[in-house]
Chains A and B, each alone.
Chain A
Amino acid sequence: DQQVKQNSPSLSVQEGRISILNCDYTNSMFDYFLWYKKYPAEGPTFLISISSIKDKNEDGRFTVFLNKSAKHLSLHIVPSQPGDSAVYFCAASALNDMRFGAGTRLTVKP
C-alpha cells in the first residue's frame, strides 16, 4: 500500500527558474512531513519539514506547502541551481511510522 506518492518520476528545470515537486498522501493520520534530497551513492539528506499545524514553512530557497484537505504537499525551490540536481523524496510520518515516496529526479540545466 503506497501511502505516499510522488507521481512525477522526473522534472527538468532551467537554472534560475522555480522547481515545484509534488507529493500526495492517503493516510490522514500523518502529522509531520519531510523532504529529503539524495545524491548518487549517498544516503538521503534532510532538507525541510512541516508540521500538520502549519501550511507553509520556508528555509532560504526552499519552501514546503501543505494542503491537508487535499492531502498534498509540495516543495518549491527558487531560484533553482545546477547543484540542486538530485532525487527528492517526500516522507510522511505518524507516531513511529514514516513512509517515503518513490522520489522525483530533478535536473536543473545551466
Chain B
Amino acid sequence: DTGVSQDPRHKITKRGQNVTFRCDPISEHNRLYWYRQTLGQGPEFLTYFQNEAQLEKSRLLSDRFSAERPKGSFSTLEIQRTEQGDSAMYLCASSLMASGSGTDTQYFGPGTRLTVL
C-alpha cells in the first residue's frame, strides 16, 4: 500500500499527558500537511511542510503543539499537556507540488482519533 499512513489510529489519554502521532506520506511527495477535524466540521489546517521546512502554522496550533519532519519524509505531531478540547481526529495529507504548478492535490491518511479524558 503506497498511500498515506498514520499511527496510531486511536489514542486515549488522560488530561495533562503528552501524545505523539506519526505520519508517513506518499514516498515521492514533497509536501506534508496536518489537519484537525471535529464532529460535523471539515478538516481545519494546522501546519504544513515543504520537504523538511515547516512553512506555515495556523493560529489553531497553540504552543502546546509541535510538528517536525526531520528528514523530509515522515512527520510527527506532538501535543503537550493535552486538554479535553484537543479531542479530535488528526489528519495528515501529502502532495507533490511541482515547481511552477499552481495546483496541489492532497491525499489524506486514515487519521488518528484522539480522546482526552
Contacts and interface: CB of A to CB of B under 8 A. Distances in A.
B41 A102 contact: yes
B111 A101 contact: no
B105 interface: yes
- Size range of the interface on A? 20 to 34
B42 A103 contact: yes
B43 A89 contact: yes
Interface in B4-61: 4, 6, 33, 40-45, 48, 55-56
A108 interface: no
A102 B40 contact: yes
Interface residues of B, number: 24
Given A96-B55, A96-B56, A102-B40, A46 B45 contact: no
A11 to B, nearest CB: 15
Nearest to A53: B102
Contacts of A97: 45
B114 interface: no
Contacts of A46: 105-108
